[in-house]
Amino acid sequence: MKALEVNNLHKTYRNGFQALSGVSLEVKQGDFYALLGPNGAGKSTIIGIICSLINKTSGQVRVYGVDLDQNPADARMHIGLVPQEFNFNIFEPVGEILLNQAGYYGIPRKIARQRAETYLKKLELWDRRYDMAKELSGGMKRRLMIARALVHEPRLLILDEPTAGVDIEIRYSMWNFMRELNASGTTIILTTHYLEEAESLCNNIAIIDKGVTIEQTDMRSLLNRLNLETFVLYLDHEIEQLPDCGDYHVRLLDKSTMEVDKHKDHDLNGLYSRLSRCNIKVVSMRNKSNRLEQLFLSMLNNNSKD
Amino acid sequence: MIISIALRELRSMFLSPLAWTVLAVIQLILAWSFFTQIDFFFNIQSQLATLPNAPGVTDLVVMPTFEVASIILLMVTPLLTMRLISEERRNGSIALLLSSPISMTEIVLGKFTGIVLFMLIFITMISLMPLSLLMGTELDLGKLAAGMFALMLLLSAFSAAGLYLSSLTSNPVVAAISSFGLLLLLWIINSNTGDASNTLDQLSLLGHFAPMLRGLIDTADIAYFILFIATFLLLTIRQLDSQRLQG
């Protein structure tokens, strides 16, 4: 069964602006799915329609086989939404925010308390359960939004830029939590502007631009399309001249840092052999830019030309 | 679901300092008014004793207190209703309600029930003052009950109108001022007519509230309040639905 099916979705706002022009998506059960696109591409409109915040102009949305038009309440039961903006009553205690949210889904108070405890503990907010939301730090508020979205145990969790403005340590702990959640069977749709986040977490991806889907595929085959990758190599000692590297296109950034362009048909072993022969050791290396970022930008450029 | 929303509304009201302040200030003003009425009653008690069918303590102390309460609450209810939807929209939490399996009708009824429960606390606190007189005198409990019932219907009507105006804007202050303006207009709309059959008199909140406060329960007055409340609740549901349509 598909977790989410979006067919030929159109949305034209009252002022005539066409936000979506026939978007179709398919998210498999248990998937970790990235929904990417530049600002104004239509991602928020898609999420708004899926979550019943916005009415569509035409098209069909099915959540775990339940048609959003025919049975909206059942469809919404499956969805948990973590919006981009903090949206809770800042005077409400953390625990109460979760209990109230559970109440909207008809969850009895006793069960809601147990779940609130579980998720607040998992997201390291249990000690702050009696504090007002306004007393939490930015990272804690983000985690509170996730805990709140999970309290009715949705099968499909939609995360709209969940790590925006979060420091690196919390971001990594949130990534781990999201991975665990996905591993336990929750389907996750993630929108983010951090493409390394999408690359690291997601299995499948859709790229939206100007209200249409310009790509929908699995992450691995998308990344395989990258013909050329650039690596930065850090050397163990300074060199004055570039060694002979054969087919590899290398540049010296400074005396101990090299940049190499690698075609997808080549590997790096040949380069390492050549460097070793010249008595040059590579102590570390990194991708010059994020691979998904390169592909994303080239796709958007192609779409603009079209 | 309606109860869940209502209880959440009630709890969240007490989380902000506004509700506590409003309760305290109103109670203080009404207590002062109540003691003034008692003082007035003591002053004219000897004259009343000479009159046949003289008005009792219920007419001279309790009903004026309820009258004062109704006027104060006309000014204060918009402060309580202003945040019901407009604040939810402003801080984005309306998205939680709209994306949950609750229908728009349940959302509106839940919020309305929440504010009515708060008003019920108000009325209970206000009524405790007249009820305390039972320790020293007799009250016309029928009239007292009619007064409480009238106040309940009036405050429910205020709340329904305030809820609707709160759904029109994301600015709570605008919602409060427009609610106050509407309620004041409907309160004084018949001030220059003096003819009970006049259309403006039929529209007037005061025109339907005053007889009930005097103990005259007329089904026409009850129907007026029920229709008033239902109209504004339906308008609120339609308003929220149309906003979702606009996206």
For position A164, what pLDDT does the model report? Answer: 78
Scan residues 126-145 of B and list those with Cβ closer than 8 Å to A.
none
Question: Looking at the complex, does the CB of residue B171 fall below 8 Å from at least one CB of chain A?
Answer: no
Extents of the domains making up chain A: 2-223, 228-289
pTM for this prediction = 0.77
Could you give the ipTM of this predicted complex? 0.71
Does the structure show a pLDDT above 70 at A252?
Answer: yes
Say if A2-223 and A228-289 have the same CATH topology: no
Write down the pLDDT at residue B192. Answer: 66
Kindly indicate the confidence band of residue B197, based on its pLDDT and cuts at 50, 70 and 90.
low
**Lowest pLDDT segment from B38-52, B91-105, B132-146:** B38-52
E strand map for chain A = 2-12, 18-28, 32-36, 58-63, 66-67, 79-82, 156-160, 187-191, 204-209, 212-218, 228-235, 249-254, 257-263, 282-287
β partners of residue A102: none
Inter-residue contact A198 to A205 (CB < 8 Å): yes
Q: Do A104 and B96 touch (CB under 8 A)?
A: yes
Interchain proximity A103–B4, CB inside 8 Å: yes
| Residue A105 to residue B91, Cβ atoms within 8 A | no
Contacts of B15 in chain A (CB under 8 A): 89, 91-92, 132
Residue of A nearest to B83 (CA): A89
CATH classification of A2-223 is 3.30.230.70, yes or no?
no
Q: How confident is the model at residue A34 (pLDDT cuts 50, 70, 90)?
A: very high
The residue-averaged pLDDT of A29-40 equals: 90
> Which residue in the set B12, B99, B101 is minimally distant from A81, CB to CB?
B99
Range of the domain at B51: 2-246
Only one residue has tokens 């309580």, namely B80
Residue B103, chain A, CB below 8 Å: the answer is: yes
Burial class (CB in 10 A: 0-12, 13-18, 19+), B157: buried
State the burial class of residue B197 (Cβ atoms within 10 Å of its Cβ: 0-12, 13-18, 19+): exposed
A38 interface with B at CB cutoff 8 Å: no
- pLDDT at residue number A300: 74
Task: Give the chain A residue nearest B247 (alpha carbons).
Answer: A54
Q: Nearest CA to CA, how far is B19 from chain A (Å)? A: 13
Q: Which homologous superfamily does the CATH classification assign to the domain defined by A228-289?
A: Alpha-L RNA-binding motif (3.30.70.1560)
**Is A95 an interface residue toward B (CB < 8 Å)?**
no
Phi-psi region of B165 (alpha: psi -120 to 50; beta: other; left: phi over 0): alpha
Distance from CA of A281 to the nearest CA of B (A): 55
Q: Quickly count: other Cβ atoms within 10 Å of residue A218's Cβ.
A: 14
Distance from CA of B72 to the nearest CA of A (A): 27
Q: Do B247 and A11 touch (CB under 8 A)?
A: yes
Contact status of B7 with chain A (Cβ, < 8 Å): yes
* Structural domains in chain B (count): 1
Chain A residues whose CB is inside 8 A of the B16 CB are 91
Residue A85 three-state SS: coil
* Residue A162, token pair as written in the block: 């969940």
